[in-house]
Amino acid sequence: MRSYHPDLTPPWKKSAPVPEVPAEPDLVVEEVTTGFCGAVTGCEAGTVTLEDRFGKHRVFPLAPRGFLLEGRTVTLVRPASGPARPSRTASGSVAVPGARARVARAGRIYVEGRHDAELVERVWGDDLRVEGVVVEYLEGVDDLPAVVRDFGPGPDARLGVLVDHLVPGSKESRIAASVTDAHTLVVGHPYIDVWEAVKPSSVGIPAWPTVPRGQDWKTGVCRALGWPDNTGAAWQHILSKVTSYKDLEPALLGRVEELIDFVTAP
């Protein structure tokens, strides 16, 4: 007869159970020992491959309690066979199946032009609808101080502004510096145009061309790449290649996330 040996380990020394989470494609997790954060790109027997926002891949064992999901310790497991329901939005956020769009907040995010707005919608649209954030475009930022005054930001109506080509010494940087309202956040990316925020590899080109000063940048890009001089059609081609945050440069990703956090803060 087998003897019984009770577990005398004090409760405070016992490890609390953690949930098991299928390592579905595009699930974003952090490996606990290295801090490497990335999206799942593959899961073989006993290992999972993660890709970070810079396109770097690393393979990790499916160890118990080996990953953090939104700050919580989890155990990744190999997903069941068969098609899996997407668990992430294009921005990498947790998808909320069946979620209804929230009534629009008083706060807004302003971007410079239509292409900026379409790109933000492409990647963050699901998140913005859940949060009730509306994105509008300005057709340039020359009159930004007046636009901010007309909007009248306040504690319950914050304003976030995304500016193209926000680099030291630029006209855009001087305009942004003139906005000092406490309830307005102006951030930007370094690219001449938001087209450049799409990774060249996603578009299928080696790099974005250098366009001589004085030329229209979009038209110059089309000519350098051998595309027709139809910037509208060129943009639709570029936009069609964007399926998730992984197709965008980190310099844009971080700024949009910053704006969303700002306008939705309690």
Are 52 and 123 members of one domain?
A: no
Are 189 and 248 members of one domain?
A: yes
| Residue 175, φ and ψ in degrees, nearest 5 | -65, -45
Q: What does the pLDDT read at residue 189?
A: 94
Are 138 and 50 members of one domain?
A: no
Are 20 and 63 members of one domain?
A: yes
Neighbours of 87 (CB within 10 A): 17
Long-range CB contacts (< 8 A, 24+ apart) of 68-73? 68/29, 68/30, 68/32, 69/21, 69/27, 69/29, 69/30, 70/94, 72/18, 72/19, 73/18, 73/32
Q: What is the mean pLDDT of the chain?
A: 86
Radius of gyration over every alpha carbon of the chain, rounded to an integer in angstroms: 23
Distances (CA, A) of 179 to 14, 41, 148, 216, 245: 54, 42, 8, 28, 29
| Interatomic CA distance for residues 74 and 63, integer angstroms | 10
Using the 3D structure, point to which of 28, 48, 74 is the last residue of a domain.
74
Are 157 and 255 members of one domain?
A: yes
Closest C-alpha to 247, from 76, 36, 90, 142: 90
Are 142 and 59 members of one domain?
A: no
Span 20-46, mean pLDDT? Answer: 88
| Interatomic CA distance for residues 216 and 132, integer angstroms | 36
Are 149 and 249 members of one domain?
A: yes
Q: What are the pLDDT digits (tens) for 38-50?
A: 889 888 768 898 8
Whether residue 230 is contained in a domain is answered as no
Structurally, how many domains does the chain consist of? 2
CATH code for the domain in which residue 25 is found = 2.30.30
Residue 131 has pLDDT above 90, yes or no: no
Are 180 and 116 members of one domain?
A: yes
Judging by beta carbons within 10 Å of its beta carbon (0-12, 13-18, 19+), is residue 75 exposed, middle or buried? middle
Are 164 and 258 members of one domain?
A: yes
Whether residue 125 is contained in a domain is answered as yes
> Which pTM does this prediction carry?
0.64
Are 23 and 65 members of one domain?
A: yes
Using the 3D structure, point to which of 48, 74, 100 is the last residue of a domain.
74
Amino acid identity, residue 208? Answer: W
Whether residue 162 is contained in a domain is answered as yes
User: By mean pLDDT, which of 85-89, 144-148, 191-195 is the weakest?
Assistant: 85-89
Q: What does the pLDDT read at residue 138?
A: 87
Q: What does the pLDDT read at residue 53?
A: 77
Using the 3D structure, point to which of 51, 74, 97 is the last residue of a domain.
74
Q: What are the pLDDT digits (tens) for 164-194?
A: 999 999 999 999 999 999 999 999 999 999 9
Q: What are the pLDDT digits (tens) for 182-239?
A: 999 999 999 999 999 999 999 999 999 999 988 999 999 999 999 999 999 999 999 9
CATH code for the domain in which residue 187 is found = 3.40.50
Tell me the three state secondary structure of residue 246.
Answer: helix
| Residue 22, φ and ψ in degrees, nearest 5 | -60, 135
Are 63 and 149 members of one domain?
A: no
pLDDT band at 149 (very low <50, low <70, confident <90, very high): very high
pLDDT band at 54 (very low <50, low <70, confident <90, very high): confident
Amino acid identity, residue 8? Answer: L
For residue 185, give its domain range.
108-194+243-264
Whether residue 156 is contained in a domain is answered as yes
Tokens of 205: 């080109």
Span 108-128, mean pLDDT? Answer: 92
Distances (CA, A) of 188 to 2, 36, 121: 69, 26, 17
